[in-house]
Amino acid sequence: MSLSGYVFILTPIEPQVETPYQIIPKHFLQKAETEQIVNIKKLLKVFNTFPIPGIPDEYIQPPYEYDYIVTTGKQPGSTHYEQKTLPQDRWRYWVINFEGVNSELEELQYSLSLMDQDIELGFHFITGDELIGVSFGWHSQNLHTYFNDYDRKVIVPKIISSADLQLANECYSRLKQIPQQYSHINRAFHRFDVLRSIPLTSELTTIGLFSIIESLLTHAPSNNDPTDSLVRQIKHKIPLVRKRFRRTIDHNAIFNGIDEERLWVKLYAYRSKIVHGESADISGNLSVLKDRKTVIAYLRDIVKLLLIQSLGEPILMTDLKEC
């Protein structure tokens, strides 16, 4: 049976590449065709509510056919959204067309999640001469979270560069070739992907990101060696591996000039408050961390870069983990 399909890109994007663009073998990024848009919109009516605080749902349209101009509202801390209808040739229904079945979509999603401007895949469709109509599939929890989490939803489209897509291709190729002895790296990718089912600024997301960092960089601390704690391992290993990162993260700019080792001590103090059931307010001695969104955005970037580094240098990263 000859099969083919396409997966809808949930994240509103504006690719800066000529399309169709082959991201990985036999998987091409391009604008959805008319029939594909019809199928996509049917499922969007089922899954997508795109709620925005302060605006009734019936007035909100998904950002695939609209621009949203975001301005400061009249009340302190409020936001005003203005809709602008796009002409049809600028609609943002993007798909990745593929040959065969959906067997490569998991690793493709893993790779797309590592881009600086990461994107999420949604429902996929399969067609074939011997199929009656179009079959489709989705991950219910991921879709529910994406469409109902204010912090996760993307209103302003992400600009996707050729460098982003080249990185995704490189990471996909390395994922397919990673030896079995580095299975902890594959598990880390799976855990990062599972976090898509959790609201972005949930305390569980914070703990999940810490767990991925620890799984890639640390070993179980020795009960007989107080210098072998997770905090000490992380605060010394992160500065070492950061020098090899694909891109830089300016922690000084994000956290107002705090020393990197001291920053990780503060981050772990915040982590401890969460796991021990205390109030996880970021205040007092932790106020340098600013707020939960800032912490999660920073941790997500660290996780992305650690995963990229683990694919590029699995031996070195595994040796670092053990030392």
What are the tens digits of pLDDT across the range 204-245? Answer: 999 999 999 999 999 988 777 766 788 899 999 999 999 999
DSSP one-letter string for 241-256: HHTT-SS---HHHHTT
pLDDT at 54: 54
- Report the alpha-carbon distance of residue 6 to residue 135 in Å, rounded: 11
| Segment 155-178, tens digit of pLDDT | 889 999 999 999 999 999 999 999
Residue 192: name the closest of 142, 234, 238 by CA: 142
Is the CB of residue 306 less than 8 Å from the CB of residue 211? no
51 or 277: which carries more pLDDT confidence? Answer: 277
Residue 226's CB is within 10 A of a number of other CB atoms, namely 9
Q: Is the pLDDT of residue 21 over 90?
A: yes
Helices 230-242 and 314-322, axial angle in degrees (round to 10): 150
Q: Is the pLDDT of residue 19 over 60?
A: yes
pLDDT at 130: 72
Is the CB of residue 20 less than 8 Å from the CB of residue 149? no
Q: Is the pLDDT of residue 258 over 60?
A: yes
- Report the alpha-carbon distance of residue 211 to residue 82 in Å, rounded: 39
- In this structure, of 56-65, 101-110, 280-289, 304-313, the range with the lowest mean pLDDT score is 56-65
Mean pLDDT across 280-301: 95
- In this structure, of 23-32, 138-147, 265-274, 300-309, the range with the lowest mean pLDDT score is 138-147
pLDDT at 253: 93
Mean pLDDT across 30-52: 84
pLDDT at 61: 62
73 pLDDT band, cuts 50/70/90, is confident
pLDDT at 72: 82
Is the CB of residue 51 less than 8 Å from the CB of residue 59? no
Q: Is the pLDDT of residue 270 over 80?
A: yes
pLDDT at 264: 95
Of the ranges 34-48, 231-245, 293-307, which is most confident? 293-307
52 pLDDT band, cuts 50/70/90, is low
Mean pLDDT across 47-52: 61
Q: Across all residues in the chain, what is the average pLDDT?
A: 90
58 pLDDT band, cuts 50/70/90, is very low
